[in-house]
Structure 1
Amino acid sequence: MMSNWHTLTPASALRRVVAQLDTTVCDIGIGVSMPLRQTSVGLHSSGEVLRGGDSDGRASLESLSNTPAAAVGFSNEALNIAHGRDVLEEMDYGRLRSLDLESRSVWGNESAADGVLAELARVQGFDRLPVLGGPADVDAVVAARGQELFRGVNNPRYAEEFKTGPYFAGQLETSSFGAGTYASTDREVALGYANDRPEGVIRMALRPGARVTDIDSLSTEMAEVDRELGSELRLLEGVERSPEQNLRRDEVNGQRDLILSDMGRYATARGYDAYHLGLDSGDPTWVLLNRSALTVER
């Protein structure tokens, strides 16, 4: 019975999963049901599955999933979802500084992406391709309490690249809300960005269980981290410098200059899939970071 899953496309597998989704999720290994809790952005289980991935981008099955597809245990090859982690202390800040300088050297070029965000996305696996499907596939994700979203682009080629091409990290410093892929819950807003051309509108859904936050919470989190790093930097400045202390000082400065300077970069470094500008306030804007967490209409 399980072998049938191996013959399904990612989109059709996801539809089949959603059709079977209930209010509990079962641990395949031990047969224990675990309750799902509802939040404003989707369904989360108290376990986690699909973490990390190998060199060809396939996620590995470890325990329980907060992804509906994994709840019934089909092949881990059916979906290609990357689950983020905190990589703030793992990054090579010398390399990131070089990428930042390179991005700034071509600032204003429409095709020039934020090199720092692109590297963070690569490390997290957020540059993997989305699941592609038909309207019914996106409907199924939305029915499972995924977040329906629309993105408008002024060139249909950009829509195709978003679905099947290399990850585009967004342009450097083009928004005060951070680097990333901007989308809206309102199709009419997206249509305006597409110059009223329907072929320039991308319809998609962010998976249930995606790790998301809002801009106010993100700002508070960033301010606290910045205070902690500032305190550490003052301590480092007040002692005799060793090679190790000099290295740590460079890392702290890199984190403040290159990560905390931009919401999108910071959220990606901390493993968020997306953030929104305020659902309660009625702002329809979302900033997407993890392309693999999306089901996109062809």
Structure 2
Amino acid sequence: MTHDTALQSAVDLAAKAAAEESTAPIVQGFFDEETFTASYIVHDPATGKAAIVDSVLDFDQPSGRTSTGSADAIIAYVKELGLSVQWLLETHAHADHLSAAPYLQEHLGGTLAIGSEILTVQNVFGKVFNEGTEFARDGSQFDHLFSDGDGFALGDIQAVALHVPGHTPADMAYVIGDAIFVGDTMFMPDYGTARADFPGGDARRLFQSIRRLMHLPDESRVFLCHDYKAPGRDTFVHETTIGAERTGNVHAHDGVTEDEFVEMRTQRDATLGMPRLILPSVQVNMRGGHFPEPEENGTRYLKLPLNTL
């Protein structure tokens, strides 16, 4: 499916959902302040079918210990409402938190999905971490790989997956009724946009992806993967609208040119340090949230490449 066709499908779907309340999903957010990450449960009120978007596995880096408090809160919500999990959606291979998708899948079921360009990420970071041939670079750690414009359903609610590269090569946005889950492409309008300097990132492609999303209906609800509190704002916020982003995003509002954005993003990214959890996060998330295989002593290890990133 071409980009124009894919986008038009998403526009039509979002517009219909905005006009017909019965096709709009219910969205519940869960914010992990430790990693500034918003996870979501989105469900069809008619059927109780649900998707979990960008879940978090708690990780204490000094001790190397994981825990499941954030994921257990999601499980409790799903069970309280009697929902049936149909999808576990990842917008990309996150660099700032570990995914809890395998743990949630074990307890709730569902199909684990990500964009098909995860193969590019696996190839790039397979080399960074010097992974051997036992590390599959074919996306097989996931149950389903979405391509741009692929349609799917959440109960009776239609959905479309859009490829929105730039932050990473594999970023996806999921348009589920009038709700759009944009991952790390955009933040709140007063905070701007995601960095584009990770391996495989590209500021120009990020701008193009953002402008593409801004063709969706203004009233479409936008659910962000992160919030860091913009200067002068004292509360965390991770929901906005396409109209607010299009007219007010401080980095990419209407009138900002592609070259202006690329210059701004390149200069800004040069001042940023690497995310605190990038090395453990990517090693786990490129495996679909699974840990590396245990070594001879039964212990699993994460690598720390020196002077590489």
User: Which is richer in strand?
Assistant: 2
TM-score by length of 2: 0.28
User: Which is richer in helix?
Assistant: 1
> Highest Rg: 1 or 2?
1
Q: Which has the higher contact order (CA 8 A, sep 6+)?
A: 1
